[in-house]
Amino acid sequence: MTKNKKLNAWIEEMAELNQPDNIVLIDGSEEQAEKLRAEACASGEIFKLNQDLLPGCYLHRTAVNDVARVEHRTFICTTNKEDAGPNNNWMDPQECYAKLSKLYKNSMRGKTMYVIPYSMGVVGSEFAKNGIELTDSIYVVLNMIIMTRVGSAVLDSIGEDGDFVKGLHSRANMDENERYITHFPEDNTIWSINSGYGGNVLLGKKCFALRIASYLGRKEGWMAEHMLILGIESPDGNVDYLAAAFPSACGKTNLAMLIPPEIYTQKGYKVWTVGDDIAWLRVGEDGRLWAMNPENGFFGVAPGTNMKSNPNALLSTKKDTIFTNVVHNLENNSVWWEGLDKNPPHNAIDWKGNPWDPTTSDQKGAHPNSRFTAPIRNCPCVSSEFENPKGVPISAIVFGGRRAKTAPLVYQSRDWDNGVFVGSIMASETTAAASGAVGVVRRDPMAMLPFVGYNMGDYFAHWLEMGTKIKNQPKIFNVNWFRLTDEGDFVWPGFGDNFRVLEWIMKRCKNEVDARETEIGYVPYAKDINLDDLNYEISEGRPFNVDELEAILSVEKDYWIKDVENIEEFYAKFGSRMPAKLLEELAGLKSRLTK
């Protein structure tokens, strides 16, 4: 089937196991993609939307029991359990292969197995990596064509003896009790079964570009991170880049495509998007840290996306996009979701496939995790450097979380090691919107808890080790857009106004502004965050002002002392794999707070 013997043998072996009726190689051509779209429309797997309103756009609905990533069914299979660490579910590789082989057996009978050659990064470039995904789903093929670079050019780049990550996906019988998302980092292999949901089946994304890539990065001296990448253009035309990690539901996609307040755009400031979810970071020849986005599309959450919250994301979905689990508006054969606008359709089908009318139904029309899969090239603010195979040089790394009180609006770490500590203690509090208790602190180091393909203690050590290799280190910051008043209102306006904080961060990187040294790091003086033209009412009749700013820049020791206890418990889970340096950082923080 290809020039690569190892690849051919593996395809044969997987076909023998799954017994598809046909095998089709995805060549990346528009003709082939169009044929597959027609086939999927005919079978009801996707629906063609109004091509005048949404050219090239389709709608898909997953099974109702299959709407999100399944962390409890996600496994890292390393020879030694310790290497997967307490942050991962573990299975012995041979045991897992044997167990899943039974589930895959004959699972593609009567179906076609598609062979998708794909590249994470610009095809054939030095920092790109190749993968092959075998799947029985046209929906997966069409999504992979948007999310990655797919086709024959990738096979050419793999050549006769090149390496590739082997991914096998079968929908099998969609039994959620037999759903497995498994990774074999020692063999560059991913096996996914009984799911059709993006995060579980688009194997280039979380499975390869984070879990397998983080393992490879440690071995090869680079980093795979759950980070957006953006560029800030100043009026003089200079662009500085930052990479930022946030847990889910913290506005990562919004920040990646932020539109600065008018007082800045009038002066000529702009934000350019390089990526919204994943960054691969390497040390460049110039001793700086360079970041590239290995993906080619956005797999964004639809609800809440509108022309106010994120016009660039919404505009990205106006053509060549696949919508999953949103409302099907039968009035004009388009799509709708909660938070799009105030005009829900009355003649519609909800995400479960049932007739839906918002005036009579108390159910949401779109699933809260409904998605759009859109090509990055559609984004009005896509960076000119997006296709640069080397990526962009990073001036600042920004960590963030959702904390009602503890973390100030922004602070800067003392140095790289302290910055690694700041990333390692990242946390979010659960909100009323999420299931489970409200206000519970969930630690999510570097937003990578579900995505590190090995022991988190070793991951921290790798971050520390990388610091020793970067001559011109980026500065490391932490932000918290989510401070609440005692009444539960957001103090900071967020969205585009977050640019005011990014401006301070960039000034710190250029040594253009002073800061106040505190127990946790460097915090801005309130006068140095530009509040010009900021019109925001925290609650009715309570305008945001410099006193409110002072309040959210304060370091509240009692909260921090409590947080230290929680961090101590969290660190203890990693036992002897926890780097001594981070334990020292924690002890240092504790002693500064209790002095």
Contacts with Mn ion by CB under 5 A lie at 277
Alpha helices in 113-227 (DSSP H): 138-147, 152-158, 198-201, 213-220
Q: In 101-148, which ranges are E strands?
A: 112-120, 129-135
* Of 17 and 228, CB closest to Mn ion: 228
* Of 275 and 344, CB closest to ligand OXD: 275
Displacement of CA 207 from its chain's centroid (Å)? 12
Asked whether the beta carbons of 175 and 194 are under 8 A apart, the reply is: yes
45 interacts with, out of ligand OXD, Mn ion, none, CB within 5 to 8 A per kind: none
499 interacts with, out of ligand OXD, Mn ion, none, CB within 5 to 8 A per kind: none
Residue 344: CA count within 13 A, CB half-sphere: 20
To which H or E segment does residue 299 belong? strand 297-301
Four-residue CA torsion sign, 528, 532, 538, 541: positive
Quote the least distance from Cβ 301 to ligand OXD, whole Å: 7
Tokens of 230: 């953006």
Window 299-318: residues binding ligand OXD (CB under 6 A): 299
* Of 421 and 459, CB closest to ligand OXD: 459
* Of 66 and 295, CB closest to Mn ion: 295
The residues facing 184 across adjacent strands are 189
Quote the least distance from Cβ 355 to ligand OXD, whole Å: 29
Quote the least distance from Cβ 415 to ligand OXD, whole Å: 29
How far is it between the farthest Cα atoms of the chain? Answer: 71
The residues facing 193 across adjacent strands are 170, 180
Round to whole Å and give the CA distance between 391 and 121: 9
* Of 372 and 454, CB closest to ligand OXD: 372
* Of 60 and 577, CB closest to ligand OXD: 60
Three-class DSSP category at 86: coil
Quote the least distance from Cβ 451 to ligand OXD, whole Å: 8
248 near ligand OXD, rule: CB under 6 A: yes
199 interacts with, out of ligand OXD, Mn ion, none, CB within 5 to 8 A per kind: ligand OXD
Tokens of 149: 């670079």
Per-residue binding letters, 117-156, with ligand OXD (x by CB under 6 A): ----------------------------------------
Asked whether the beta carbons of 250 and 277 are under 8 A apart, the reply is: no
Which residue in the set 199, 217, 365, 521 belongs to the binding site for ligand OXD (CB under 6 A)?
A: 199
From the number of C-beta atoms within 10 Å of its C-beta (0-12, 13-18, 19+), residue 126 rates as exposed
585 near ligand OXD, rule: CB under 6 A: no
Window 268-287: residues binding ligand OXD (CB under 6 A): 277
Select which of 96, 207, 250, 381 is catalytic.
Answer: 250
Say whether 57 is catalytic. no
For β-strands 22-25 and 112-120, DSSP reports them as: parallel
385 interacts with, out of Mn ion, ligand OXD, none, CB within 5 to 8 A per kind: none
93 interacts with, out of Mn ion, ligand OXD, none, CB within 5 to 8 A per kind: none
What residues line the site for ligand OXD (CB under 6 A)? Answer: 69, 199, 248, 277, 299
